[in-house]
Structure 1
Amino acid sequence: MDTFILIINLVGTVAFAVSGALTGLRKNMDVFGVCILGLTTAVGGGVIRDVILGLTPPATFRDPTCAALALVTSAIIFLPQIRRLLMHNPDRYNLLMLWMDSLGLGAFSVVGVQIAYQHVTSPTLFLLVFVGVVTGVGGGVLRDLMACDMPYIFVRHVYATASLAGALTCALLWYPAGSVAAMLAGIALVVVIRCLSAHFRWNLPRAKEL
């Protein structure tokens, strides 16, 4: 189980670091800005989660493995060859951004549920889902605020709703199906919802439409 959680954490870290670094490239940031944006996206949600659960100092500062991985990933994205490959093709950029954001969102949404189960005695369903969603979307919100964008979760393709669905599925299946199956099901549901919403242009109703 520990190995499985580690793999999920590493996958989510790389995915969100790529997402943050791509945003930094789009904003024409220097290498420091790209790396900080990738780092913040990758670990921001986990830091917020740990503060909510009273786990201080947050895991990122007790074991900097994920932070180091996020910085290395972001630096790789900044390499000239990689920049040219990604930034000169808008379709390739958008597709990679979608997949990385979706994979990171799914991974961290279920990791949040797992951490809550691990550290809270008899957690409520609301707490499990809330912590899962915060872990999933927190880094992306910080990324968008630092890049001076409207947070992605409020305007694009049922982003937070996908995280909520994945976290809820994971929490409900935790005991009936087992933790591994519950986490895989949650991740899969998040990715499927995100990809379908991007393909079919699904969005929640907006104020001007009402």
Structure 2
Amino acid sequence: MDFLWLLFDIIGTIAFAISGALLGIQRRMDIFGILILALVTAIGGGIVRDVMVGRIPPTSLQTGLYISITLITVGIMFIMYRYGWNRYIEGKGATKVYLIADALGLASFTVTGATIGIATDPTNLVLTVVLGGITAVGGGIIRDILAHRTPSVLKEEVYALPALLGGIAYFVVYAIGHQIVASYVTFLIVFIIRMIAIEYHWNLPRIDRIHR
């Protein structure tokens, strides 16, 4: 299970590093700004999660693995941009890449967060759901604030809800006795719901205007 957790954590790190870097490029930041956005997106949620459960120092800071993965990811994207692959870095192509990467990160980090929740207290549904959600959306919230955007979790097509549903699914499947299956089921639920929400513009109810 440790290998599976690490696998999802690496997938999430790469995916969120891509989404953070793409936003930095779209906002015309310099290479340092792009790297900062990639880093906070990739490891921010995990740091918040670890602090909540008393993991000090946080997992992502105990080793250079996650920062190295982020640096390599940003470096590859920079090389792609310099050598004519900018259709995947800017414009409509970049938007698709951003949304897919963000959905992959959301799904992967829901799994890793929920796993930490179960490891902390296997009987606590709320803890599992909250840690899954925080890990999944925490980095994106920090990214959006630094980029002067309203956080995606507050306004875009159903965003945090898939992570919360994924946390519930993980807890239920784990309780049945299938820990490994719980990881895959959670990943698929979060990713599929998020992509469908993007495709069909699913939104939670909102108040567009207050009449007086």
- The interval holding the TM-score normalised by the smaller chain is over 0.9
Residue type of the alignment partner of 2:109: F
Q: Distance in 1 between matches of 2:53 and 2:123?
A: 11
| Equivalent pair of 2:118/2:124 in contact (CA under 8 Å) | no
Gaps of 5+ in 1: none
Q: Distance in 1 between matches of 2:75 and 2:27?
A: 16
| Equivalent pair of 1:113/1:129 in contact (CA under 8 Å) | yes
Residue type of the alignment partner of 1:112: G
Say if 1:23 and 1:82 are closer, same or farther in 2 by CA, change over 3 A. farther
Paired residues, number: 208
Q: Which secondary structure does the structure 1 equivalent of 2:208 belong to? A: helix
TM-fit CA distance, 1:85: 2.5
Q: Which secondary structure does the structure 2 equivalent of 1:76 belong to? A: helix
Q: Which secondary structure does the structure 1 equivalent of 2:55 belong to? A: coil
Q: Distance in 2 between matches of 1:171 and 1:164?
A: 11
Q: Distance in 2 between matches of 1:46 and 1:82?
A: 34
Residue 101 (structure 2) pairs with residue 100 (structure 1):
yes
Say if 1:75 and 1:82 are closer, same or farther in 2 by CA, change over 3 A. farther
TM-fit CA distance, 1:3: 1.5
| Equivalent pair of 1:31/1:75 in contact (CA under 8 Å) | no
Q: Deviations over 1:66-102 (max 9, x none)?
A: 12101211222223236623244x3211211111001
More displaced stretch, 142-151 vs 92-101: 92-101
Match of 2:6 in 1: 6
TM-score, normalised to structure 1's length?
A: 0.94
Residue 91 (structure 2) pairs with residue 81 (structure 1):
no
TM-fit CA distance, 1:123: 4.4
Q: Which secondary structure does the structure 2 equivalent of 1:148 belong to? A: coil
Match of 1:127 in 2: 127
| Equivalent pair of 1:106/1:191 in contact (CA under 8 Å) | yes
TM-fit CA distance, 1:167: 1.3
Say if 1:196 and 1:116 are closer, same or farther in 2 by CA, change over 3 A. same
Say if 1:84 and 1:209 are closer, same or farther in 2 by CA, change over 3 A. same
Residue type of the alignment partner of 1:153: V
Q: Distance in 2 between matches of 1:108 and 1:203?
A: 22
Q: Which secondary structure does the structure 2 equivalent of 1:203 belong to? A: coil
Q: Deviations over 1:46-75 (max 9, x none)?
A: 000000001111111112201210121122
Match of 2:149 in 1: 149
More displaced stretch, 61-70 vs 48-57: 61-70
Residue type of the alignment partner of 1:40: V
Match of 1:20 in 2: 20
Q: How does 1:1-210 map to 2 (within 5 A)?
A: 1-79=1-79, 80-81=82-83, 84-88=86-90, 90-118=91-119, 120-208=120-208
Residue type of the alignment partner of 1:195: M
**Moved beyond 6 Å, runs of 4+:** none
Residue type of the alignment partner of 2:208: K
TM-score, normalised to structure 2's length?
A: 0.93
| Equivalent pair of 2:46/2:135 in contact (CA under 8 Å) | yes
Q: Distance in 2 between matches of 1:87 and 1:122?
A: 42
| Equivalent pair of 1:116/1:123 in contact (CA under 8 Å) | no
Q: Distance in 1 between matches of 2:121 and 2:206?
A: 39
| Equivalent pair of 1:76/1:82 in contact (CA under 8 Å) | no
Residue type of the alignment partner of 1:100: A
Q: Which secondary structure does the structure 2 equivalent of 1:206 belong to? A: coil
